[in-house]
Amino acid sequence: MLATKPNIISKTSKILVLDEGFSAEKEVAIRSGRNVANSLVSAGYKNTDTLHLSSREDLKKIVELKVANKIDLAVLMTHGRFGEDGCIQGFLELLEIPYTGSNVKASANCMNKLTTKALLKANNLDVFPNLKLEDLLNEKDLQKTVPAEQNKNNKFPIILKATAEGSSVGVEKINSLAEFKKKLLSEPHLEAELKATTHIKTFIEPYTQGIEVTTSILPYDEELYKQLGLNLEGLKNNPNLLIDSDLISLPILKLTPKKEFYDYEAKYTAGLTEFELPAVLPEGLTEKIHRAALKAYRTLECSGFARVDFIIEVKNSSEAMLDSTEKIKNEITHYNPYILELNTLPGMTDTSDLPAQAKSAGIDSQSLIEILINSTLDS
């Protein structure tokens, strides 16, 4: 089914915020749902309620609300599997309930990182290659211990990633061949998963110690923004964002984790990551990232809000001064942004990227909520 906007969204609309869900990200989803529900009420949407999806019985409640004509709009804060992969979207479309975010197809494609990468690569967007198990070791390697002096496989470190999880769930850095062998021997299922050619649960990428950045995409409706009292001239003249037709790519956020890399704990624990917003990047690179993000959003046919995550590969990094704008300017061609993933239901917690990026652009929380519900999709 194709999705279209519902006929009317008003302050009297019966809005149901759906959060929690059945994935490893449910705690984050609850926090996002709480913030969004509070913002909706503050914005004047008094008929707002929240439903924590934790069982099949909760799905029945949605059906009951629809039958009783007590739901006009579902606001989705269901991060991760079953809530962000097209499942809940398809359920709502069958019930003909309007919902926020991308449709079934886009949600499913963005949730599966391998599908995302294949579609982006086919459209000339840079993504990291996938490594095969046989690229790293052969069957004999699993049967013997590798002496320390021979443990110098130049393909390491590597990153193991879960194919269909978000918030860096299932992401693990493996530093050496010996460490990789130990993991394979201690988790027998993993070898089969990495050899699979269909229904792939886990995959491997090369590890790149680059600059981690992210930008978020919002629908850009000049008439709506004007009604909300947003400073249109300020937005249009802001060098840190990019407006392109009906979309806006918000100021880029640079993330520097205090841990070895940006994992789940670093994302959601205050103090474990340093943020720079807007990110200070070399001339030309900011626009390049914005345009890549917008192209990725359109390639995957996203709707509503989305977040696009990147790693900027720093070539000749031993010579480059990462914190020096002057040095980066002189070596612009040595910096290449790779897209990591697209998130179709970005977090809306107190520490989430999208609300911070919107605020940096001059879009307050109340306006952000209005933009969210006005981008609603309906089957």
Q: At what angle do helices 365-374 and 26-42 cross, to 10 degrees?
A: 100
| Whole-angstrom distance, CA of residue 322 vs CA of residue 91 | 47
DSSP 3-state of 53: strand
Structure-block tokens of residue 254:
């640079």
List alpha helices for the chain, DSSP H. 26-42, 56-67, 87-94, 104-111, 113-122, 133-136, 177-186, 188-195, 222-227, 232-236, 264-268, 285-299, 325-330, 353-361, 365-374
Is residue 39 a contact partner of residue 71, using CB atoms and an 8 Å limit? Answer: no
Residue 353, SS3 per DSSP: helix
Question: What Rg do the C-alpha atoms of the chain give, in angstroms?
Answer: 22
Determine if residue 22 is left, alpha or beta; phi over 0 gives left, psi from -120 to 50 gives alpha, anything else beta.
alpha
Residue 189 burial by Cβ neighbours in a 10 Å radius (0-12, 13-18, 19+): exposed
Tokens standing for residue 138: 């052969």
- Identify the CA nearest to 27 among candidates 268, 340, 277: 268
Which is nearest to 50 in space by CA: 100, 58, 190? Answer: 58
Domains and CATH numbers, the chain: 15-100 (3.40.50.20), 113-124+209-374 (3.30.470.20), 133-206 (3.30.1490)
Among candidate residues 77, 79, 62, the one with its CA nearest the CA of residue 14: 62
pTM for the structure as a whole: 0.87
Phi, psi dihedral angles at 24 (to 5 degrees): -70, -10
Which amino acid is present at 263? D
pLDDT of residue 102: 95
Digit-by-digit pLDDT tens for the chain (379 residues) are 334 455 568 899 999 999 988 877 888 899 999 999 999 999 999 999 999 999 889 999 999 999 999 999 999 999 888 899 999 999 999 999 999 999 999 999 999 999 999 999 999 999 999 998 887 876 555 555 545 444 455 788 999 998 887 656 668 889 988 888 898 888 888 888 888 877 788 899 999 889 999 999 999 999 999 999 999 999 999 999 999 999 999 999 999 988 776 766 666 677 778 999 999 998 899 999 999 999 999 999 999 999 999 999 987 644 444 554 555 454 445 789 999 999 999 999 888 999 999 999 999 999 999 999 988 854 3
Q: Taking the mean position of all CA atoms in its chain, how far away is CA 363?
A: 20
Q: Is 144 exposed, middle or buried (0-12, 13-18, 19+ CB in 10 A)?
A: exposed
Q: CA distances (Å), 65 to each of 45, 58, 102, in order?
A: 18, 11, 22
